Amino acid sequence: MKAMAAKPTTAGTPANDDIGEAKRLALYRSQIRLREAEQRAFDLFLQNLVKGTSHLSLGQEAVAAGFAEAMQKGDLSFCTYRGHAHTLARGVSVEKVLGELMQKDNGLMRGKGGSMHLTSEDHGVMGSYAIIGAHLPIACGAAWRAQYRGDKDVSVCFFGDGTTNIGAFHEALNFAAVWKLPVVFVCENNLYMEYTPIGDVTAVPSPAGDRAAAYGLPKIVIDGNDADVVYREAQKAFAKARAGEGPSLIECLTYRHSGHSRADPAKYRPEGELERWKERDPIKIYRERLKQFGVSEQVMAEIDADVRREVDAATEACKAAPMPPTDILFTDVYADGGWAWRN
Amino acid sequence: MAEISYRDAVARGIAQEMARDKDVVFLGEDVAKAGGCFKATVGLYEQFGPLRVRDTPISEQAILGAAMGAAMTGLKPIAEIMFSDFIAVCFDYIANEFPKSRYMSNGQTKCPLVVRTGNGAGSRFGAQHSQSVENWCMMIPGLKVVAPSSPRDVIGLLAAAVRDPDPVIFFEHKSLYPIKGEVPDGEIVDTLGTAKILRPGTDCTILALALMVPRALEAAERLKAEHGIDAEVVDVRSLVPLDTQTILGSVGRTHRLFTVEENPRLCGWGAEIVSIVADEAFYDLDGPPVRITTPHIPLPAADHLEDMVLPTADRIVETVRRSLNS
Ligand SMILES: Cc1ncc(C[n+]2csc(CCOP(=O)(O)OP(=O)(O)O)c2C)c(N)n1
Ligand SMILES: [Mg+2]
């Protein structure tokens, strides 16, 4: 299959260099937290407590964690509907995210946005966008503001492999390159656009990487299941952006363990594919990494337990939280806080 | 006081706001060095420099998306979409992104931007460069929609749009660019959501927008001179927010309503206003409200064909006279 042409590397490969103990533990904690929170979201969906749609990043945690850990306060994330992990990774509480998924008043947007539109500007999460490709130009605009004002923040825009076939992707890449904007485009190539293998609908084997040259950018395709690799690549791209040297386009090879959305049993996958990728589960890789660096099982277990406590407490808080009051239906359509379109 | 063109009023309005606030930036295709496809932005690049007045690739989605990202993070961008017909290729931003981000984020996200665009017929450009598409935008909650008819209103409403904290779609009429009008000296700032009674009258209310305003005014003069009918002409100016008080007040005095719309028939802005008047002022009416519109067809290119389909002063006179005499 064309999409598999770029082979993921084998499990447990140590990163080229040592990112340091503190960062390593932070990356581990972040990935565990994303995994636990999203697994919980799935369980709550099975209990009919998570409503609407939801798109999980189970299996793709290394991308979200790796980029978020490389970001500084003030850097901006632009996410897709598959944005829970990126939102959590910037430090938004599990309760706020689960609350939104459960349509409770304690949710991040009090039920007005839903799973696909997680936004927490205080954390630099500038929205999750559900129209494929829409947020690439928007990230350009935020980067333009930074360039114009001399601000040092970077705008980071996450999207899938399927998104490389929509016009807005190409408009944004050219625009960012011509204007030399401090924006980093991150393609999470999980091998599928919804239900169709990306290779079936794309003219080149690397959907993002092979397009980079058209915009004067180097081809960067990395192992998106190794958080250290992701973290290092993110640092490089951010340094380039902050130095005024323009955008980067990074393709991260990864795989989603669950279906596209909660409605999808993912029957279209060839036999054995999921199992092969589970061998390369980012969390499995990272546990082995920690072991290689001498981190004890006990330290990992403590982190696991700590994360579990946050997720359990969030679950209980969300179950107990009230539904949003109906008067918020009519707030914040316009900047005056209301919805009046006439006098 | 000086007499300036509608075209020059655009540049003056933008310059007024850029000089006042350095968060105001301007982007679009051919707008900077070339001064715009309609020469409505000549001089801005020279005055404000390449960081604030920027030429873009032919990428309407990138233009509007970039305007939004800049607006969300603190700037007050003005984006130009050369012909309003091209809104169709970047409609996602107008329909899904600008107007919904504040609501979906429970009030976190702001979007203070202006999209200026050349709207309307009269230049014989045919069906894809002549449309009046303000109604495409009027139907979307979260947007504001403005269409000035005079040089003075261009400056005042553009300033109001730039200062407004919400996304505003600003429709300039291409056929009005050459018209001239008196404009006071100094800063001009108008108010969004205000209609203007341009000609008071007692026998009927004629609502018009943009290019239809001078036609309605001409028709009113002829109705008076030729038929003794005293029509009140109201320039709607702002479709969202809509100044229903001025409109309902006028209908309450004249008891008859006519709308003059450049849109094709179905779902033109007049339909919404007629429905409001029917709901709220039915018993003020002495006869049915009448919509004078372009027929429901794509616009033709040839002079005499285009002239036949847009509402003209003749058609307004004839329609009003017949309705009032029946
Ligand atoms: C403009 C647009 N077209 C189609 C869709 C429906 N849709 C939602 S997700 C998706 C697949 C996107 O694939 P990819 O970019 O690879 O992201 P992934 O879901 O794999 O993370 C599609 C087609 C949409 N939301 N927006
Ligand atoms: Mg995909």
- The span from the CA of B115 to the CA of B135, in Å, is 15
Would you state the pLDDT for residue A77?
A: 99
Q: What tokens appear for B270 in the block?
A: 């007049």
Residue pLDDT, tens place only, A289-340 = 999 999 999 999 999 999 999 999 999 999 999 999 999 999 999 999 999 9
pLDDT at A7 over 80: no
Residue whose CA lies nearest to ligand 1 atom number 10: A194
Pocket-testing residue among A194, A198, A251, A260, ligand 1, by greatest number of atoms within 8 A of Cβ: A194
Instruction: Please check whether residue B271 lies inside any domain of the structure.
Output: yes
Cβ pair A168:B62 closer than 8 A:
yes
The predicted model gives A71-92 an average pLDDT of: 98
pLDDT at B48 over 80: yes
Taking the centre of ligand 2 as the mean of its atom positions, its distance from the CA of residue A42, in whole angstroms, is 19
Percent of the residues in chain B that have a pLDDT greater than 70, as a whole number: 100
- pLDDT class for A263, splitting at 50, 70, 90? confident
Structural class in CATH, domain A22-318: alpha beta
A131 in contact with ligand 1, CB cutoff 6 A = yes
pLDDT at A9 over 60: no
Would you state the pLDDT for residue A17?
A: 66
CB contact B279 to A (< 8 Å)? no
The one catalytic residue among B129, B227, B255, B296: B129
Instruction: Quote the ipTM score.
Output: 0.97
Last-in-domain residue among B183, B210, B240: B183
Residue ranges near ligand 2 (ion) with Cβ within 5 Å: A 160-162, 190, 192
A254 in contact with ligand 1, CB cutoff 6 A = no
Q: Which residue of B has its CA nearest to A113?
A: B104
Would you state the pLDDT for residue A16?
A: 55
Last-in-domain residue among B183, B205, B236: B183
Instruction: Please check whether residue B191 lies inside any domain of the structure.
Output: no
The predicted model gives A83-93 an average pLDDT of: 98
In terms of residues, how long is chain A?
A: 343
Residue pLDDT, tens place only, A130-168 = 999 999 999 999 999 999 999 999 999 999 999 999 999
The predicted model gives A62-78 an average pLDDT of: 98
The predicted model gives B179-191 an average pLDDT of: 98
Instruction: Please check whether residue B190 lies inside any domain of the structure.
Output: no
A156 forms bridges with which residues in the sheet? A77, A184
Would you state the pLDDT for residue A18?
A: 84
Stated pTM of the model: 0.97
pLDDT at A33 over 60: yes
B305 lies in which domain range? 196-325
Same domain membership, residue B136 and residue B249: no
A298 contact partners, CB below 8 Å, separation of at least 6:
none
Instruction: Please check whether residue B7 lies inside any domain of the structure.
Output: yes
A162 in contact with ligand 1, CB cutoff 6 A = yes
pLDDT at A342 over 90: yes
Atom from ligand 1 closest to the CA of residue A188: 21
Last-in-domain residue among B183, B212, B239: B183
Residue ranges of domains in chain A: 22-318
A84 in contact with ligand 1, CB cutoff 6 A = no
Same domain membership, residue B175 and residue B204: no
Same domain membership, residue B226 and residue B126: no
Considering CB atoms only, which of A119, A120, A134 is closest to B97? A134
Atom from ligand 1 closest to the CA of residue A163: 15
pLDDT at A257 over 50: yes
Interface-testing mutation among A97, A100, A144, with chain B (most B C-beta atoms within 10 A): A144
Between B230 and A52, the higher pLDDT residue:
B230
Using an 8 Å CB-CB cutoff, list chain B residues near A136.
Answer: 65
- Closest CA–CA distance from residue A165 to any residue of chain B (Å): 15
Interface-testing mutation among B21, B73, B86, with chain A (most A C-beta atoms within 10 A): B73
Instruction: Please check whether residue B189 lies inside any domain of the structure.
Output: no
A120: DSSP letter: B
- pLDDT class for A215, splitting at 50, 70, 90? very high
CB contact B169 to A (< 8 Å)? no
How many structural domains comprise chain B?
2
What residue type is assigned to position A109 of the chain? M
- DSSP state letters, A27-89: HHHHHHHHHHHHHHHHHHHHTT-S-S-----TT-HHHHHHHHHH--TT-EEEEESS-HHHHHH
pLDDT at A186 over 80: yes
A63 in contact with ligand 1, CB cutoff 6 A = no
Residue pLDDT, tens place only, B254-281 = 999 999 999 999 999 999 999 999 999 9
Task: Report the first-to-last Cα separation within chain B, whole angstroms.
Answer: 45
Q: What is the residue whose two structure tokens read 């130095």?
A: A243
Pocket-testing residue among A115, A136, A193, A255, ligand 1, by greatest number of atoms within 8 A of Cβ: A193
Would you state the pLDDT for residue A262?
A: 85
A269 contact partners, CB below 8 Å, separation of at least 6:
none
Residue pair A249/A211 in contact (Cβ under 8 Å)? The answer is yes
Same domain membership, residue B156 and residue B82: yes
Taking the centre of ligand 1 as the mean of its atom positions, its distance from the CA of residue A304, in whole angstroms, is 32
pLDDT at A4 over 60: no
Same domain membership, residue B231 and residue B171: no
CB contact B240 to A (< 8 Å)? yes
For residue B249, the domain's CATH number is 3.40.50.920
Using an 8 Å CB-CB cutoff, list chain B residues near A342.
Answer: 241-244, 276
For residue B165, the domain's CATH number is 3.40.50.970
Residue pLDDT, tens place only, A91-125 = 999 999 999 999 999 999 999 999 999 999 999 99
Same domain membership, residue B238 and residue B89: no
- Is residue B227 among the annotated active site residues? no
Same domain membership, residue B119 and residue B67: yes
Exposure of A243 by Cβ count < 10 A (0-12 exposed, 13-18 middle, 19+ buried)? exposed
Q: Which residue of B has its CA nearest to A119?
A: B105
CB contact B69 to A (< 8 Å)? yes
Same domain membership, residue B222 and residue B165: no
Residue whose CA lies nearest to ligand 1 atom number 23: A194
Instruction: Please check whether residue B10 lies inside any domain of the structure.
Output: yes
Instruction: Please check whether residue B169 lies inside any domain of the structure.
Output: yes
- The span from the CA of A339 to the CA of A330, in Å, is 6
Distance of CA B263 to the CA centre of its chain: 12
